[in-house]
Structure 1
């Protein structure tokens, strides 16, 4: 991966952006795409739309990657300065005790630790149970009066971890779901512009509030009104122990982008994506999606009178944890695949099934 693209990825991933608090990530996205796009705008929801104008009357394409991440919100502060919190998005409570977190206040970030009763203080029955989130708290290591001056109800919280590379071309971080999708959309703008532009308008949309209901994807699909809308997402890798492939299919890290096929996916767009991958010798995988996908692709498909929707994903291990793992080569190939797809589109293409 070229150095500037890697720096953009790391900066975007590490910018705090729980659903409803995406502004830092939106700023990073805007700064990267502005030199490449013809126009860049931010809507009232907070989603960012970067437009690369087409060279002819080809079909418009919106690539949507959501920049919100799962996180927490401070909901109550005890007199002793311990912060109760609520989840933003879906979490596994079992992994929370002992986690380091950052509380993002108006005065700056504060390092904290998620605490609970130590195992030595639990009775036998309590040890068998998964701790409830309301039984945990954030310890900021400061007196109560200081905490109450610096922390406000509603302050967002993220895991206090960043992006690192490890192993053979792998990366680990919080929030690959789904800021890597926004990264890929921006990279497609760069690649398509470098190639001389597509025949139709290309819109890279960094959408918001996906983790709490596909909200930014819904409004962006309506306002942008593209002919084709493709959600760039993560999907569950099934290449590690205890995953039942008969139930979840076979998806591997390092084997290329994953193209979804099913009711949420326009058949012609699926066909053209596969053809682009094969023409460019980009490895790819196919994932069955027998119903609505629970991604922005679902919101895009149902916008207005219906859109030609698709879903292209990167295989991800340990989704919705502080240690999400993916292949950087898969991520690069996702951008290359989408750029090839966009560049091959011709005016007058019919996407009617």
Structure 2
């Protein structure tokens, strides 16, 4: 675990608290439906910069600047991460769990896990039968989730049940590792990095005398169906919305760039084009990035995106929507890897988009 006072990027020279906020967020559990801990962190961090901070009944946290403004801009970054949920405790004290969100069971074998109970975190390991004891058929088969269990070291069912309840959430051990250059690695980069960007963008934009209403939302339950963004957008009724999520970095072996695009860590956030994105929002993002020399990359999505941009675009009577993404290697694993400079650039891009948005802007598509 990295000490909170170790700098990660050039951003530290401006606001070391922003890096500390990200590190703490990565180490805070937030499985879909169990986001209370991280949302408390979000509220505490952004309160000084916002005119208003709200939490709705769904659990979304909305940081707001200029709440009385007629033109409303919504930034959405989901704070929830994939996880597990305890479903059964056997007579030997081993835990069985179902997944929250999209897991590759192969990623779970041999991982250190944390069960987040009412009384505190309980460490454990997720395992299967050792390879020495697998028969030939078992060795050739992809492991199923029901063949894995969590060992917390309890001596029997009663001992385990005194610590853990059915329905307790489980995550990988949450820790952040500094790699070379400005890269950081750990679980939950999807999408605590996007949440960090929208919250940091509001903090920066608040000092730029914006005239529009800015609603930066740490959304919940994206991993199980874009649920938080759907309800938040319905209540805010934004005119313009930009979602920030991660996207697949392709600068590693075995990924087909012809289908996924040429996306590199450290080359800037990704601005998406396609039917889910309003062309004038895309154009404005590119213009600002070019003018301010903010590095960025382009990518295409030919259908409704599987992230909060989808929910934003079709909310109510429709929202002029953009999607800015953080390149991420090894998504939905214990070693998701991103560039801190990409996060910094994304926050700067969104802050300047917010500062320039006025009531006169028209995002109706036209030739």
Which TM-score applies when normalising by structure 1? 0.98
Name the residue aligned to 1:40.
53
What pairs up with 1:10-159 in 2 under 5 angstroms? 10-53=23-66, 59-144=71-156, 145-159=158-172
- Asked if 2 retains the 8 angstrom alpha-carbon contact of 1:103 and 1:110, the reply is yes
Counterpart selection for 1:183 from 178, 188, 196: 196
- The alignment status of 1:310 with 2:322, answered yes or no, reads yes
Are the counterparts in 2 of residues 280 and 340 from structure 1 also a CA contact under 8 Å? no
| 2:247 is equivalent to residue 235 of structure 1 | yes
CA shift, 1:55, in A, is 9.1
CA contact (8 A) 1:55 1:198 kept: no
Distance in 2 (alpha carbons) for counterparts of 1:256 and 1:53: 29
Which contiguous aligned blocks of 4+ residues in structure 1 show a shift greater than 2 angstroms? 54-57
Match of 2:265 in 1: 253
How many residues align? The count is 351
Structure 2 equivalent of residue 201 of structure 1: 213
Aligned counterpart in structure 1 of residue 354 of structure 2, from 317, 333, 342:
342
TM superposition shift of 1:194: 2.0
Alignment deviations for residues 225-260 of structure 1 (CA, whole Å, 9 cap, x no partner):
111111011000001011111121111111001001
Separation in 2, partners of 1:67, 1:345: 25
- Aligned-partner Cα distance in 2 for 1:193–1:221: 21
Is 1:264–2:295 an aligned residue pair?
Answer: no
C-alpha contact (below 8 Å) 1:192/1:339 kept by paired residues: yes
Q: Deviations over 1:4-54 (max 9, x none)?
A: 110000111211010000000100000011111011010000000010117
Alpha-carbon distance in 1 for matches of 2:110, 2:264: 30
Gaps of 5+ in 2: 1-10
Assess if the C-alpha contact under 8 Å between 2:29 and 2:174 holds in 1.
no
Bigger mean CA deviation after superposition, 210-219 or 184-193 = 184-193
Shift of 1:161: 3.1
SS for the counterpart of 2:334 is coil
TM-score (norm 2): 0.94
Query: Any unmatched runs of 5+ in structure 1?
Result: none
Distance 2:312 2:199 in 1: 19
Q: Distance in 1 between matches of 2:278 and 2:214?
A: 18
Q: Which residue of 1 aligns with 2:340?
A: 328
* 2:227 alignment partner, one of 201, 215, 218: 215
The alignment status of 1:351 with 2:363, answered yes or no, reads: yes
Cα distance in 1 for partners of 2:262, 2:230 equals: 30
Q: Distance in 1 between matches of 2:97 and 2:267?
A: 39
- SS across alignment from 2:63: strand
Q: CA RMSD in A?
A: 1.1
- For residues 22 and 312 of structure 1, the distance between their equivalents in structure 2, rounded to whole angstroms, comes to 23
Inter-CA distance 54–148: structure 2 relative to 1 (3 Å threshold): closer
